[in-house]
């Protein structure tokens, strides 16, 4: 089963959207396998966003993600990476479809409330940045066979 990293960014925590965002993924059928409330250091921010180092918005992105506590989560499920990206909506909330997290809960690209890994390699890399292997759990739910036919 695919695993992916989701962050509720500092704006989502400050706005009281943690439960709402978790519910979107729970309701979709994904399984929560790791969860923590934490501050992102500048060093971790640089590693997490290393693909964006040269972009003009990089300094404000690091300022933002280190500006307050975040929720880091690991989610698992069939096609979890794509399902999370679709559930989040496009990067710019202005273009995000209604029904997505960003389309329903945000209006500005610099305050888009949530992060999700964009592919298998970034998911593995980002999960390793935010979680030790012992912090990611392997367990069954009695509902699993009602969510995924296997
Ligand atoms: P995503 O978060 O959808 O994976 P990304 O990886 O391209 O998007 O960018 C990471 C974050 O950087 C994004 O959530 C918000 C910010 N960002 C991206 N493009 C931006 C831009 N053109 N101006 C300002 N912030 C931007
Ligand atoms: Mg990205």
Return the domain boundaries, the chain: 2-140
Please report, in angstroms and rounded to a whole number, the separation of the first and last CA atoms in the chain: 11
pLDDT above 90 as % of the chain: 99
Distance between Cα 146 and ligand 2 center (Å): 31
Residues 111, 11 contacting (CB under 8 angstroms) = yes
Q: Is the pLDDT of residue 23 over 90?
A: yes
| CATH architecture under which domain 2-140 falls | 2-Layer Sandwich (3.30)
Write down the pTM of the prediction.
0.98
- How is the chain split among helix, strand and coil, in percent rounded to 5? 45, 20, 35
Q: Is the pLDDT of residue 76 over 90?
A: yes
Q: What is the mean pLDDT of residues 4-9?
A: 99
Give, to the nearest 10 degrees, the angle between helix 18-28 and helix 80-88: 130
Distance between CA 7 and CA 112 in Å, rounded?
A: 11
Provide the annotated active-site residues.
115
Q: Is the pLDDT of residue 131 over 90?
A: yes
115 pocket-lining for ligand 1 (C-beta < 6 Å): yes
Closest residue by Cα to atom 14, ligand 1, is 91
Distance between Cα 63 and ligand 1 center (Å): 13
124 pocket-lining for ligand 1 (C-beta < 6 Å): no
What pLDDT shows up at residue 15? 98
145 pocket-lining for ligand 1 (C-beta < 6 Å): no
Distance between Cα 81 and ligand 1 center (Å): 17
What pLDDT shows up at residue 150? 80
Closest residue by Cα to atom 12, ligand 1, is 61
Q: Is the pLDDT of residue 77 over 90?
A: yes
What pLDDT shows up at residue 94? 98
112 pocket-lining for ligand 1 (C-beta < 6 Å): yes
Which ligand 1 atom sits closest to the C-alpha of 116?
A: 4
Q: Whole-number mean pLDDT of the chain? A: 98
Instruction: Report residue 86's pLDDT band, with 50, 70 and 90 as the boundaries.
Output: very high
CA dihedral 97, 145, 72, 102 (to 10 degrees): 10
Q: What is the mean pLDDT of residues 88-94?
A: 98
């Amino acid at each position: 089963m695919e695993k992916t990293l989701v962050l509720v960014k500092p704006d989502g925590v400050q706005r009281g959207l943690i439960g709402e965002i978790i519910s979107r993924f729970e309701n979709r059928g994904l399984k929560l396998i790791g969860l923590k409330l934490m501050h992102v250091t500048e060093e971790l921010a640089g590693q997490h966003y290393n693909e964006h180092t040269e972009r003009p918005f990089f300094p404000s992105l690091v300022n933002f993600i280190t500006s307050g506590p975040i929720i880091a989560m690991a989610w698992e499920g069939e096609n979890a990476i794509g399902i999370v990206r679709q559930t989040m909506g496009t990067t710019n909330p202005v273009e995000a479809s209604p029904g997505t997290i960003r389309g329903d809960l945000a209006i500005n690209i610099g305050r888009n409330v949530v992060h999700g890994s964009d592919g298998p390699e970034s998911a593995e890399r980002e999960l390793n940045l935010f979680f030790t292997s012992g912090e990611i759990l392997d367990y069954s739910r009695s509902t699993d066979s009602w969510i995924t036919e296997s």
